[in-house]
Amino acid sequence: MKYVELPSSDVTEQALKQLEIGAFLTTQKVDKVNTMTIAWGGINVVWGKTVFVVYVRYSRETYNMLEHNDEFTVSIPIHRDLKKELAYCGTKSGRDVDKIKDCKFTLIPGRIVGTPIIGECDLHYECKLIYKQAMEPNAITDQVKARYYSTNNFHVVYYGEIVDVYQTKGE
């Protein structure tokens, strides 16, 4: 596997464009690895650090895992069509199925963090958690609440300092 070093700013536009379609947020708790599809998030600068911001609902297994781990990876398929895998990982729970096995994903160790990346993707962010905030339901407009939170299944917002970003190519 060849790693191509990238400044985060060089791939931000590409990453955010694909994020609208979907990317994989991967977490690990002890020996269990789980991934989920994310389509909400962003890359920002906070406290002088470049961060990847992700939203995870309380009901997701990823939430339980992030509460026990201070890191995560985001793997983004730029040149491969992983629509079926994105759909699967966005509708199944890691509590009930092994999404890594079912999607036949190859886990590759992170270069800085202990959480692996998804080998079938080609753009990767390794992140260390620096802040998390539960959404305040009373601060959400009624229109947004009606559309996205009709069951009161709110998100926790996680800010992960980007400690490594790179593309992977070939074997």
Q: Across residues 66-89, what is the average pLDDT?
A: 94
User: Is this prediction's pTM over 0.85?
Assistant: yes
pLDDT of residue 6 exceeding 90: no
Cα–Cα distance for residue pair 114/99, rounded to 1 Å: 19
What pLDDT, on the 0 to 100 scale, is given for residue 10?
A: 73
Cα–Cα distance for residue pair 104/158, rounded to 1 Å: 27
Cα–Cα distance for residue pair 114/49, rounded to 1 Å: 20
Q: What is the CATH topology of the domain spanning 2-169? A: Pnp Oxidase; Chain A (2.30.110)
At 8, the pLDDT band (50, 70, 90 cuts) reads low
Q: DSSP class of residue 40?
A: -
The domain spans of the chain are 2-169
Q: Across residues 9-30, what is the average pLDDT?
A: 88
pLDDT of residue 81 exceeding 80: yes
Cα–Cα distance for residue pair 138/83, rounded to 1 Å: 35
Q: Across residues 95-100, what is the average pLDDT?
A: 94
Q: Across residues 150-169, what is the average pLDDT?
A: 94
Cβ atoms 161, 51 nearer than 8 A: yes
